Amino acid sequence: MKLRKVTAVSAVVLALTVSATACSSKKNDSGSSGGGKTIAIGIKYDQPGLGQKTPQGYAGFDVDVATYVAKKLGYSSDQIEWKESKSADRETMLQRGDVDFIAATYSITPKRQAKVDFAGPYLLAHQDVLVRADDSSIKSPADLNNKKLCSVTGSTSAQNVHDKLAPKAQLQQYPTYSACLTGLQSKAIDALTTDDSILAGYAAQAQFKGKFKLGGFKMTNENYGIGVKKGSPLKDKINKALEEMVADGSWEAAVKKNFGPADYKNEPAPKIGDIKS
């Protein structure tokens, strides 16, 4: 009986040891750099030039920024677990701990800052319009009056233009940006509006090269930040990584790689904490 008791105790100790080892091999959630098996990063899956899931993998400016940051945190590219972060889900994903950080055209706003923290900004974008390359009739926001202006269903971009700049613009809602581009190409619509970075990403696709141009209107400021859970120590580490990305030229290289074909006139890399209203 004594031998059986000792054996039982040993089995319990062994089970606890195995359990602890298994737990330690999981993703590091403490906010410390490296040391974890993987790091979970939220991106968009459907935004060419920014965050897109392709048969060859993940591509875009946000992906390049996130990969650089992850490397500085101690993770190689094959240790990154990419997760789709739709706009409506981003705060919830961070609050639940589904991801360590999110880089997904995530504009810093007071409303969002009440729920999550932001590193950055790492890109200053603006609401703009995309028009056909041969269209010289739209030179300012006012020229959108009596024009068919497209944006995706649920977006407020076109409504903002209508309410503030071109009250006679004819608003058109399409299910996707790709559908708007098709309509723009066929002349069913006259212009597409959203963030200039998003427009540049679409226009830079091979099948659209040279067919569209950005208006350059800069109708709003969109400060893209990297979202983290409220109080996460990752914020300061990500900010440091972003500063290093700018300093070593990797940021500028990523801009040219992802937006260059659209002739995107990007703003200089913003300073950390400098949020333009």
Burial group, residue 175, by CB count within 10 angstroms (0-12, 13-18, 19+): exposed
Kindly report which listed range (11-15, 57-61, 188-192) carries the lowest average pLDDT score: 11-15
Write the DSSP string, 151-164.
EETT-SHHHHHHHH
75-111 pLDDT per residue, tens: 999 999 999 999 989 999 999 999 999 999 999 999 9
Q: What percent of the chain has pLDDT over 90?
A: 77
What residue ranges of the chain are covered by domains with CATH 3.40.190.10?
39-124+224-262, 127-214
Instruction: Find out whether 248 and 55 touch, Cβ atoms under 8 Å.
Output: no
Write the DSSP string, 47-67.
ETTTEEEETTEEESHHHHHHH
The CATH architecture one would assign to domain 127-214 is 3-Layer(aba) Sandwich (3.40)
Instruction: State the average pLDDT over residues 265-273.
Output: 96
Quote the pLDDT of residue 8: 46
pTM for this prediction: 0.83
Tell me the CATH number of domain 39-124+224-262, given options 1.10.10.10, 3.40.50.150, 3.40.190.10, 3.90.650.10: 3.40.190.10
Instruction: Find out whether 43 and 66 touch, Cβ atoms under 8 Å.
Output: yes
Quote the pLDDT of residue 153: 85
Instruction: Find out whether 191 and 150 touch, Cβ atoms under 8 Å.
Output: yes
Name the average pLDDT for the chain: 89
Q: Residue 89 CB: number of other CB atoms within 10 A?
A: 16
Quote the pLDDT of residue 37: 92
3-state secondary structure of 248: coil
